[in-house]
A = this chain, B = another copy of it.
């Protein structure tokens, strides 16, 4: 039995967002979502199981995790230990190739890579679907990073979450697009996604309208992706993102992930679009702005985004692969 394995998974950017849980402990979402896995941002994770005792150890970009961060991963590792029928402690080394502290969603690629590395190292050979279910329990959006290209995460209905997993809907090689990620200077420390979702679902008077329309967005997005219709995909993504942020800013207390440069970028993208450039923004639980465009427009767009005050760097991604063992 192999006691050590290394896996790599890529970040994903939701085009139809996940915001709110129907069940918290298993990360069961209130709605389905649809994302694009990006080649540019990935997490590489090595897991070794050891019987030598002690505690689980996790090093993220060379720094040892402690306290609540470590405890959260430990609780998730218990699920793997239970599946594998082992009591071993884990030694984990994980590295992101993108700025972890920049407010980019790193938990999706992290738990996707961890799910494959930890189970493979424990001698388990899980199906992609079961990996998706396992990764989901660490971070909801990690369910999607198991797969490459355009991916849909099913909401599911079962209390045990066995029907809430992601599935690929269009492989990375089947549609070439670009997603630029404008990374901003950090602002005031925002609320975590997890806490933000709880506050929103409990207090926003707009949350019902969000839930009532997201299924239609999903159906329209699925169709637009399969038709490889960039303008349609972009328009749905932008509107969906704005609805999510509308539920956030109407939460009590207000959740305002946007920074000044976020708004500057939104205006810039709209202005460029009025000038004929097919570019569409989306933002997650943070200030950074992701912009979808055609491959031929990406370089010019990157220059435009870099010129906006407050933008630190612009990453450029294209549809990337699902999780793999290295």
Q: Which residues of A contact B (CB under 8 A)?
A: 187-188, 205-206, 208-210, 212-213, 238-239, 242-243, 245-247, 249-250, 252, 254, 256, 258-264, 266-267, 270-271, 309-310
Contact of A206 among B187, B206, B263 (CB under 8 A): B206
Query: Which among A212, A213, A242 has the highest number of chain B CB atoms within 10 Å?
Result: A242
Contact of A239 among B246, B252, B259, B267 (CB under 8 A): B252
A271–B190 Cα gap in the complex (Å)? Answer: 12
A199–B208 Cα gap in the complex (Å)? Answer: 21
Q: List 28 A-B contacts (CB under 8 A).
A: A188-B267, A188-B271, A205-B209, A205-B210, A205-B243, A206-B206, A206-B209, A206-B243, A206-B246, A208-B209, A238-B254, A239-B252, A242-B254, A246-B246, A246-B249, A256-B266, A256-B267, A256-B270, A258-B263, A259-B263, A259-B264, A259-B267, A260-B261, A260-B263, A260-B264, A260-B309, A262-B263, A263-B263
Answer whether A250 and B239 are a contact pair too, CB < 8 Å, given A206-B206, A206-B209. Answer: yes
What is the CB-to-nearest-CB distance from A267 to chain B, in angstroms, rounded to a whole number? 6
A267–B271 Cα gap in the complex (Å)? Answer: 25
The 10 A-B pairs of least Cβ separation, nearest first, read: A260-B260, A246-B246, A260-B264, A205-B213, A242-B249, A246-B250, A206-B206, A205-B209, A209-B209, A206-B209
User: For A242, what are the chain B residues with a Cβ–Cβ distance below 8 Å?
Assistant: 249-250, 254
Closest B residue to A188 by beta carbon equals B267
A309–B187 Cα gap in the complex (Å)? Answer: 14
Number of copies: 2
What is the CB-to-nearest-CB distance from A245 to chain B, in angstroms, rounded to a whole number? 7
User: For A246, what are the chain B residues with a Cβ–Cβ distance below 8 Å?
Assistant: 206, 246-247, 249-250
User: For A252, what are the chain B residues with a Cβ–Cβ distance below 8 Å?
Assistant: 239
User: For A250, what are the chain B residues with a Cβ–Cβ distance below 8 Å?
Assistant: 239, 242-243, 246
A68–B238 Cα gap in the complex (Å)? Answer: 34
User: For A267, what are the chain B residues with a Cβ–Cβ distance below 8 Å?
Assistant: 187-188, 256, 259
What is the CB-to-nearest-CB distance from A251 to chain B, in angstroms, rounded to a whole number? 9
What is the CB-to-nearest-CB distance from A254 to chain B, in angstroms, rounded to a whole number? 6
Query: Which among A243, A250, A254, A262 has the highest number of chain B CB atoms within 10 Å?
Result: A250
What is the CB-to-nearest-CB distance from A308 to chain B, in angstroms, rounded to a whole number? 9
